[in-house]
Amino acid sequence: MGTDALSTPLGKDHKPKKRKWRVQSGWVGAGIFAFVIMTLTLWVIFVDDPLGGEPVAIVAIERQAAGVTKKDVEVVDIRPSLPSAREDSEAEPKEGENPPPKIEFTDENQLDAAEGRTLSSTPIDKITEEGRYGKVPKVAKDGSRPLDLYAAPVSRGAQDSPKIILIVTGLGLSQTGTQEAIRLLPSGVTLAFAPYGSSLDRWVQRARQEGHELLLQVPLEPFDFPDNDPGPHTLLTKLSSAQNMDRLQWLMSRLSNYVGIVNYMGARFTATPEAVAPLMQELDDRGLLYVDDGSSSRSVAERITGELRSPFVKADMTIDVVSTPGEVDSRLLQLESLSRSRGLAVGVASALPVSIERIAEWALGLEARGVYLVPPSFVVRSGPS
């Protein structure tokens, strides 16, 4: 027994301990990292397309030329091969599409150049009668209608070209706004006057002297009436047809030289056949057209005017739902595109300063782009034959 054994405490192992090898974790991590790097390097070197199978898009990014604005960009020589208005009206609609508007040329005189014809600015006697509240339109004994004799002329170039009916509503309420609209807007834009403005006769004369076709805005009952009240003499679903026609007489006497009416509000009224039918019959009897501003998808006006075979126009879009310059510009371009694809497009706008300014700017080069502004009387959408 050696000295070490004698000095070892009782209960302890007297055999010498073996030395253990410890692997540092840092060296293991470094090895794994090196293996991954080497594998990726060999894959990139020996594989022709490392991203094979992944979608790749290559985009050329060009800098915008300094000083170029939206006004400097112009559509040039866009004249698609479109069928003539009469051919387009006879074409069969594709499944799921709305039928194209049927186009009727209401007056051969409308094909005269605008500068070659002076528009009336006072009521024409043979298509005017004295009503309960003043002079109102009527059909003459020879069959002449206000729709015909108050119609604005159109250039012959419009007959077989894409056409736009553009109606600006709310005129006559603001003296400044009405003056600016008449001053800035081209004659091809149709002006709709509210019945409540002052000096309406003076504004009618000014608008007619500038070549505009006119509409009368008629207030109709909305769903949230009376919380949302269009104004005095609004036509209501709860009134009898005789009471509504009396109110219509007052509204019609407020203006002259108009070819028809356009609704102001009226979602509830136009969704009620019992209320709409007498109104449309009265307009037809007086030789006037009805323009639906397109604001209500529940309107039955198109169906009823179709049954009466009376003149009818429906708007495709409102230009200034969002009244900012960019949004108005965008909607005007959409309207122009629609006119190219269908031959005819109808837009409505309010007499807001921004709308007047952008429409005036947009219309400057419209005919050079092969599109013509026409009034509602030039083309009418008929109901099913």
Q: Quick check: 63 pLDDT over 70?
A: no
Q: Are 295 and 318 in contact (CB under 8 A)?
A: yes
| 270 within domain boundaries | yes
For residue 48, tell me if it sits in a domain: no
Residue 174: CATH number of its domain: 3.20.20.370
Q: Is residue 171 part of a domain?
A: yes
Q: Is residue 357 part of a domain?
A: yes
Domain that holds residue 211: 75-85+101-373
Residue 17 covered by a domain: no
In the chain, pLDDT over 70 holds for what percent of residues? Answer: 70
Q: What percentage of the chain reaches a pLDDT higher than 90?
A: 65
- Provide the token pair at 239: 């009134």
Q: Is 325 helix (H, G, I), strand (E, B) or coil?
A: helix
Residues 240-295: tens digit of each pLDDT:
999 999 999 999 999 999 999 999 999 999 999 999 999 999 999 999 999 999 99
Per-residue pLDDT tens digits for 112-153: 444 456 899 999 999 999 999 999 999 999 999 999 999 999
Bridge-based pairing state of the strands 163-171 and 344-350: parallel
Q: Which residues, including other chains, have CB under 8 Å from residue 375's CB and lie 6 or more apart?
A: 151, 152, 154, 165, 188, 190, 213, 259
Q: Please work out, in degrees rounded to the nearest 5, the angle formed at the alpha carbon of residue 171 by the alpha carbons of 168 and 174.
A: 135
Question: What domain count does the chain have?
Answer: 1
Mean pLDDT of the chain: 81
With respect to residue 2, please indicate whether it lies within any of the assigned structural domains: no
- The alpha carbon of residue 168 and the mean position of all alpha carbons in its chain are separated, in whole angstroms, by 12
Give pLDDT tens digits for 343-354.
999 999 999 999
In a domain, 144, yes or no: yes
Six-digit token pair at 53? 């199978």
Give domain status of residue 202, yes or no: yes
